[in-house]
Structure formats: C-alpha cells, structure tokens
C-alpha cells in the first residue's frame, strides 16, 4: 500500500498493539511493591501479600502499554491536559434548583437530621 | 538568644457569588443541612463541573488590586485526600497555573510603610461542614458549603512580627470588602487564615523550621497564636532542642497551640490536572475590562479625603473603613459643605450609636441628608451644638428630620438677649451664696452659673450670649 516510504501521521501511530516482551529489555520495572503499598495506604485500601504482588505486575503492564506513547514524535507539540481543543467553558452566576429535599441523601449509607452520618474523625 | 520571627500567611476568602463555583446551587448561608446540594457538589460519578465566570472575574479583581500579574493561562488540578467533608476524594483547586502571581500590598505600622509580597492567588472549592457528636462516635456532614467558591491568597514570608501579620490581614480584608467580592467575616468563616511561623537567630539568613498554625477565627487570635508560637519556639531553641515541622491548632480557651499529631500528617496530594475542566485563557482585553471596573481602594480614598476635604489622616482612615461609610460621609459633605464638622458627627455620635447596636452603616436610621440638615441648623444659629446632641439622638431613634424634631420639641436656640438676661438674673437670684463667693474671687464658679442658666433655658440659650452676659452681670458691672 501507499504507506511505504511515507511518514506516518501522528494520530495513527499513537495506538498500536504492544510488541509485548521486547520492551522488558528496554524499560526497567517502574512500580515496586513498596509503591503499591504506599498508594494503597493513600487510597485507604488493604491488600493481602498475594494481591500486592498481582497489582505490582498489573500496574507495570499498564505502564508498559502506555510507554508506547513515547515512540510518538511530539517535537513542536505543546503538552495538553485535554483531548479536545476547548477553552473557557463558563457558566453564568445563576442559581438553579438543588436536588429536591431528601434526594441528596438517598444514597447515604447512614443519615441523621438531614446530614450524612460518618464515623467520627478526631484531630 | 535574640531571634527574628518570619511569618507568611495563607488566607482563604469566600467569594460573594450567588451560585457555587462549579454548579448552580445557592451559596446562601443558613439553609437546612444539605438543601443546597446537587449531583455535582455531592461528587457523584459522571457529572461535569462547569466554572462560574464570576469567580474568575472576582479573582482577577483581587489580583489587580494587589498588583499581581494575571496569568494568561490557567487550569484546575485535583488535590487528592480523604476526609468526610470532601465527597469526591479530591478538592478542585489550582496548582501549577494559578490565576494571579507576584503581587504586593503595603501596610502601615506606627507610621511606617512596609511592602508585603503576594506569592499567588488561586481559585478553589470549599469543602463541606462537619458537626461532631459530643456523646457518640459520629460526625454529621452538611455539604451546603461544598463547592462554595474560595480564593486562596498566599503571602511571601515577609512579616516579622505578630503586629505586622495582623495589620496585613486587616488590609487584605479591607481590600476584599472594598472590591465587594467577600464579606470578610472572620467569625463566620468567610475570611480564614493559616499562619506559617518560624524564628531564626538575629542576623541569620536561612529560615528556621516553620510550623503551620490553624484554627484562629479572629484578628486577635491570629496575633495571640503567633505570639504564643514565637515563645514556644524560642524556648525550644534556647534549651537546645529542635522545632518540628508540623501543623498546630490554636486553642482559644487555653491560649496555646497544640500539635495536630494525626497519621495523615504526611500529606501526598498527588495533584494532577482535572480532565473535567478545560483551560482558562485570559485575554489582555478581559483584564482591562475588569481593571476599568475596579473601585477606588481604601488607601487611595484616604489620601483623597485628606487632600480634598482637609481632614486629619486619622479621620480619613476611620471614614474610609468601608465604602458605604465613605459614601455616607461624602454625601453629607456635599449637602452641607462642612467636611470637618461632618467628620466629627459621623465619627463621634453616629458610629457610637451604630456600634452600640452592632448595626452597619447601610442600616443607619440617620441619612446623610439628616446629618447635613442638622449641621446647617447649627451653622445658622437655630440650635446650639449642645442641643444638636439631643437632636441627633432623637433623629437616630425616630429617623425624623432634624428641623421637625427642633420644632416639635421647641428646641430652637434662644438668641434674644432679653430672654437670656432674664435667665441670668434668675440664676443669680436663686444662688446668692455662690454669687457672693464668685464676687469674692472664686472664679471657677463661672461654670456653675453657665450650668444654671442652661438649666433654666433647658439648654436652648445661645452659649456665646450666655458667656458674654454672665461675664458682665456676675461682676455686677
């Protein structure tokens, strides 16, 4: 096909099937078990040793997959935080109705006096 | 050892918008728990926050008033942490790209001007409110405040004493109130302050280890907390110890700061750009548009009052405390043309009555026209300054026009010489002993006779006339 000898456009280069194992040689493992434990603590999650090992492997696989993006030539491209080129999406300062009475707490696991009830946190 | 104190302040100011920062829920205070909440400010999955344009405008206003650079590019970031008052598990704030940076304000202390740097001003959302159960292991969460717009104003570590910190805070609050973007109420939490405090040996360049003080809900408490902290840190260093970098809570009742030793001290907020909110691009035209609407700020107004009305700096500083008071004053001066006399009445009687009842100038029962009319009555001799006090009190009580009060109460000044002569004669006849003493040389009894004449005329006699006649008649000449 006509792709031979031509430069690939950036958009089609960005998503390709990972070339799997060949990358392990080029990129060292990035996530350690310590980091998994640290992030789990920040997220208030508790895991068994087995789970920690599994998540370490899985997170590394994900990172490897995302590493593919480094192959794209981004010379002259400004870093963006959004996929769409949109700025200044504003609303006017107008009050709209809030949720009807009672609906705000419809999903509350526990409530009291129209408040969400949570375990006390002491400082 | 002699230490120098280094203070930097972080101020959170609640913006006076009608709706929240990312949704249309009302920001009005005083609704029942969770009545001003929706999917967005409750942090439900799948919702899309949209920025309130007024929040950006208000922040630009504050940036300009504090001489900041308004950044052309801004965005929002997620600040991740867990706390029950934060429904999403993150607070939407600005991190790498705040709206305004590198400004300053000038403070006046003991007649000396000092410049305090502003590091940055950024927009963010407020969290909900926690009410702790006194007896049970529960807390109750009200999310009405969740999503209410705040700006955080971070200062440079430029303050060197608790007094400077308090003065900086007052100036900052005055500016916010003048700009009409925040009500500046510290007790109700719409103006909050955290203080970073450290000390270092005098002459040392490097900063000492700082502590962050929280939970101070008045200007006085900010000052007290910093004073306490300086003493505490000095004591530690003097006894060979080391200050620990930590957050400390001010305890008003005990007059102390306490370490907030929780496991969550080691914060890792993992900021990242919020994908739900698109970048903010601020054009020079927008900045100019906001600049054109900036009001005259307090110090500018104060200088103008001194120059234009020839009143003392002290008067001008009191009269420009709020825009409403300054407008009241100027209106009254316009109507009667007596700047210093208006200043005396407004600063004296009016502010005293208002303060006694904790009323704002906008709720004053006395209007600028009332004050001007009353001053005109004094100027044209209808009433004396002493009677005016009575008129003012009645005016404040009933909101009646001063001329009506004078007529109804028969307070018109007695300027008729014959009538005053009669009153003097009566005073002399009633007090023969005092008259004899006066004539024997006890001159301070003169004031006694002034009082007697005023009593007889129910305060209405023209004071100058009373003086002149008494001088003549008491000596019997």
Q: Report the distance separating Cα B68 and Cα B50, nearest Å.
A: 26
Answer whether residue A10 shows pLDDT above 50. Answer: no
* Residue A4 clears pLDDT 80, i.e. is over it: no
Q: How many CA atoms lie within 13 A of A21 on its CB side?
A: 0
Structural domain count of chain A: 1
Q: Does B137 touch chain A (CB under 8 A)?
A: yes
Q: Report d(CA B38, CA A100) in Å as an integer.
A: 9
CATH number at residue A37: 1.10.20.60
Q: Do A112 and B140 touch (CB under 8 A)?
A: yes
Contact at CB, A118 and B279, closer than 8 angstroms = no
Q: Is B216 helix (H, G, I), strand (E, B) or coil?
A: strand
What angle (nearest 5°) sits at the alpha carbon of residue B339, between those of residues B336 and B343? 110
Q: Band the pLDDT of A28: cuts 50, 70, 90.
A: low
Q: Where are the beta strands (DSSP E) in chain A?
A: 90-91, 111-112, 115-119
| Residue A26 within any structural domain of the chain | yes
Residue extents of the structural domains in chain B? 3-288, 298-409, 417-474
Asked whether the beta carbons of B181 and B58 are under 8 A apart, the reply is yes
In angstroms, rounded to a whole number, what is the distance separating the alpha carbons of residues B446 and B443?
A: 6
Cβ B124 vs Cβ B271: under 8 Å: no
What dihedral do alpha carbons B402, B407, B409, B411 form, nearest 10°?
80
pLDDT of A13? 34
- pLDDT at res. A16: 34
Q: Is the pLDDT of residue A44 over 80?
A: yes
Where does B83-216 show beta strands of DSSP type E?
90-93, 100-109, 112-125, 129-132, 138-142, 149-155, 191-201, 211-216
| B96-149 residue pLDDT tens | 999 999 999 998 888 788 999 999 999 999 999 999 888 889 999 999 999 999
Q: What is the rounded end-to-end Cα distance, in angstroms, of chain A?
A: 67
Percent of chain A with pLDDT over 70: 75
Strand partners, B22: none
B273 contact residues in A (CB cutoff 8 A): 81
Using the beta-carbon criterion (under 8 Å), do A105 and B34 form an inter-chain contact? yes
Q: Which residues of chain B have pLDDT under 50?
A: 263-265
Q: Which residue has the higher pLDDT, A123 or A63?
A: A63
In degrees to the nearest 10, what's the CA dihedral of B328, B333, B335, B337? Answer: 180
Specify the DSSP class assigned to residue B326: H
The closest CB to that of B142, out of A86, A89, A115, belongs to A115
Q: Is the pLDDT of residue A123 over 60?
A: no
With contacts defined as CB-CB under 8 Å, which chain B residues touch A100? none
Q: Is B97 exposed, middle or buried (0-12, 13-18, 19+ CB in 10 A)?
A: middle
What is the C-alpha to C-alpha distance for residues B87 and B34, in angstroms, rounded to an integer? 12
Contacts of A78 in chain B (CB under 8 A): none
Q: What is the pLDDT of residue A122?
A: 64
Pick the residue from chain B with its C-alpha nearest to A45: B82
The pLDDT of residue B46 is 93
Structure confidence at residue A21 as a pLDDT band (50, 70, 90): very low
Interface test with B, best of A38, A41, A91, A102 (most B CBs within 10 A): A91
Q: Does A70 score more than 70 pLDDT?
A: yes
- By Cβ distance, the residue of A82, A101, A123 closest to B35 is A101
Residue A70 lies in a domain: yes
Q: State the count of interchain CB pairs (< 8 A) between A and B.
A: 122
Per-residue confidence (pLDDT) for residue B140, from 0 to 100: 94
pLDDT for the residue numbered B390: 86
How far is residue B191's CA from residue B123's CA, in Å, rounded to a whole number? 14
Is it the case that residue A91 has pLDDT exceeding 70? yes
Q: Residues 6 or more apart from B296 whose CB is under 8 A from it?
A: B304
Pick the CATH number of B417-474 from 3.30.300.130, 1.10.3720.10, 1.10.260.40, 1.10.10.410: 1.10.10.410
SS3 B96: coil
DSSP readout, B152-176?
Answer: EEEE-S-B-SHHHHHHHHHHHHHHH
pLDDT classification of A29: cutoffs 50, 70, 90: low
SS3 B459: coil
B77-80 and B90-93 strand pairing? antiparallel
Residue range of the domain that includes A46: 13-75
pLDDT at residue A120, as a whole number: 87
What is the helix (H) or strand (E) element at residue B207, kind and residue range?
Answer: none
């Amino acid at each position: 096909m006509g792709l031979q000898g031509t430069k690939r456009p950036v958009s089609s280069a960005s998503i390709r099937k990972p070339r799997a194992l060949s990358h392990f040689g080029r990129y060292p493992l990035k996530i350690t078990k310590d980091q998994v434990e640290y992030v789990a603590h920040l997220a208030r999650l508790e895991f068994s040793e087995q789970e920690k090992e599994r998540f370490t492997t899985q997170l590394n696989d994900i990172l490897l997959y995302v590493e593919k993006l480094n192959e794209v030539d981004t010379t002259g491209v400004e870093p963006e935080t959004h996929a769409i080129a949109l700025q200044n999406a504003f609303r006017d300062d107008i009050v709209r109705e809030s949720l009807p009475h009672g609906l705000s707490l419809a999903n509350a696991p526990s409530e009291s006096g129209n408040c969400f009830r949570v375990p006390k946190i002491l400082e | 050892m002699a230490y120098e104190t280094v203070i930097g302040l972080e101020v959170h100011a609640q913006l006076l918008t009608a709706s929240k920062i990312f949704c249309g829920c009302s920001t009005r205070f005083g609704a029942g728990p969770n009545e001003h909440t929706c999917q967005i400010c409750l942090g439900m999955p799948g919702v899309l926050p949209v920025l309130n344009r007024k929040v950006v405008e208000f922040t630009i206003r504050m940036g300009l008033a504090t001489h900041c650079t308004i950044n052309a590019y801004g965005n929002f970031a997620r600040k991740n942490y867990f706390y029950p008052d934060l429904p999403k598990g993150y607070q939407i704030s600005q991190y790498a790209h705040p709206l305004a940076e590198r400004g300053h304000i000038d403070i006046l202390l003991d007649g000396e001007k000092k410049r305090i740097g502003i590091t940055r001003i950024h927009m963010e959302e407020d969290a909900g409110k926690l009410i702790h159960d006194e007896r049970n292991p529960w807390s109750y969460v009200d999310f009405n405040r969740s999503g209410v717009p705040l700006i955080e104003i971070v200062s440079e570590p430029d303050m060197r004493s608790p007094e400077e910190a308090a003065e900086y805070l007052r100036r900052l609050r005055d500016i916010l109130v003048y700009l009409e973007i925040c009500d500046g109420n510290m007790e109700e939490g719409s103006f909050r302050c955290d203080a970073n405090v450290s000390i270092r040996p005098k002459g040392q360049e490097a900063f000492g280890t700082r502590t962050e003080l929280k939970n101070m809900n008045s200007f006085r408490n900010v000052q007290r907390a910093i004073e306490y902290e300086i003493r505490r840190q000095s004591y530690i260093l003097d006894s060979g110890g080391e200050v620990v970098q930590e957050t400390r809570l001010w305890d008003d009742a005990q007059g102390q700061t306490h370490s907030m030793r929780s496991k969550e001290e080691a914060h890792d907020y993992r900021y990242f750009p919020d994908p739900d909110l698109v970048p903010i691009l601020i054009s020079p035209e927008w900045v100019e548009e906001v600049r054109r609407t900036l009001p005259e700020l307090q110090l500018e107004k104060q200088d103008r009052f001194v120059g234009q009305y020839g009143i003392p700096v002290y008067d001008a500083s009191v009269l420009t405390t709020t825009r409403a008071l300054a407008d009241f004053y100027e209106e009254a001066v316009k109507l009667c043309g007596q700047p210093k006399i208006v200043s005396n009445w407004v600063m004296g009687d009016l502010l005293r009555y208002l303060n006694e009842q904790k009323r704002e100038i906008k709720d004053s029962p006395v209007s600028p026209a009332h004050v001007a009319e009353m001053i005109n009555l004094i100027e044209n001799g209808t009433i004396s300054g002493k009677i005016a006090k009575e008129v003012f009190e009645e005016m404040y009580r009933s909101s009646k026009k001063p001329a009506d009060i004078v007529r109804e109460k028969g307070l018109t000044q007695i300027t008729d010489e014959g009538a005053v002569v009669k009153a003097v004669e009566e005073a002399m006849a009633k007090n023969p002993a005092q008259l004899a003493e006066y004539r024997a040389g006890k001159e301070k009894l003169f004031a006694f006779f002034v009082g007697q004449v005023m009593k007889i005329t129910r305060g209405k006699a023209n004071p100058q006339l009373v003086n002149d006649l008494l001088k003549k008649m008491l000596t019997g000449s």
